[in-house]
């Protein structure tokens, strides 16, 4: 009988991503308890974590945290592979795509608020595109678009301010500026 042991080495990076993803998942769960007038309009607090990870550890880490958040919150909320899960995934993918481009903007002019607002628009854009193509083809979504966009603008700006303040208060801003 062969006796083989498969060992997956766990690096410090993996642990860090797991820790940050857990934080993002916690925020998503807390947010799911909040009542919302229109389904789909949420503050997106987990994006604060994703944005901080992006600024501190780069895009790959942010993509991991975002992906793990979508998957794990789908498991925990019982919506795994349900329409809500796919909408969430579409939003996360689009917003990561937007961030991949937006993080190359000159940081002297474009701070976390820009990134957060753009990511929020990406999020809602991806969700609406999938919903329009798959779930609700028709005119109903067009009428709701301004509401979603306004929510993205407000919550994106608020989350961006939170990220910016966190960076200043934790002293991370200087280390990030040195890196870039």
Partner 1 sequence: MLLRAGDAGVLFAGTGLVITLALYAWSGDRGDTAIIRSAGQIVETASLTHVQRFAINGPLGTTQVEIEPGRARVARDPSPRQLCVKQGWLTQSGQAALCLPNQVSVEIRGRTTAYDTLGY
Chain contacts with partner 1 (rule: CB under 8 A): 105-106, 108-111, 113-114, 117-118, 121, 137-139, 142-146, 149-150, 152-153, 156-157, 160-161, 164-165, 168
Quote the least distance from Cβ 27 to partner 1, whole Å: 22
Shortest gap between Cβ of 90 and partner 1 (angstroms)?
A: 19
Q: What DSSP string describes 94-135?
A: HHHHHHHHHTTS-TTT--HHHHHHHHHHHHHHHHHHHIIIII
Instruction: Please state, in angstroms and rounded to a whole number, the distance separating the CA atoms of residues 85 and 78.
Output: 9
State in angstroms the smallest separation of the CB of 171 from partner 1.
Answer: 14
CB of 147 to partner 1, least distance (A): 9
Q: CB nearer to partner 1: give 71 or 161.
A: 161
Helix (H) or strand (E) holding 91: helix 83-102
HSE of 75, CA atoms in CB hemisphere, 13 A: 7
């Amino acid at each position: 009988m062969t006796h083989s042991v498969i060992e997956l080495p766990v690096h410090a990076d993996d642990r860090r991503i797991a820790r940050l993803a857990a934080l993002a998942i916690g925020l998503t769960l807390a947010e799911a308890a909040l009542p919302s007038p229109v389904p789909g309009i949420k503050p997106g607090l987990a994006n604060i974590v994703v944005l901080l990870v992006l600024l501190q550890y780069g895009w790959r880490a942010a993509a991991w945290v975002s992906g793990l958040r979508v998957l794990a919150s789908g498991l925990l909320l019982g919506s795994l592979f349900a329409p809500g899960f796919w909408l969430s995934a579409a939003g996360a993918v689009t917003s990561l795509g937007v961030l991949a481009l937006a993080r190359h903007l000159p940081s002297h002019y474009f701070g976390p608020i820009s990134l957060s607002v753009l990511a929020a628009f990406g999020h809602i854009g991806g969700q609406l595109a999938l919903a329009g193509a798959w779930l609700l083809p028709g005119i109903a979504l067009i009428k709701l678009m301004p509401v979603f966009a306004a929510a993205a603008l407000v919550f994106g700006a608020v989350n961006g301010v939170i990220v910016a303040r966190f960076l200043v208060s934790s002293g991370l801003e200087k280390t990030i500026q040195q890196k870039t």
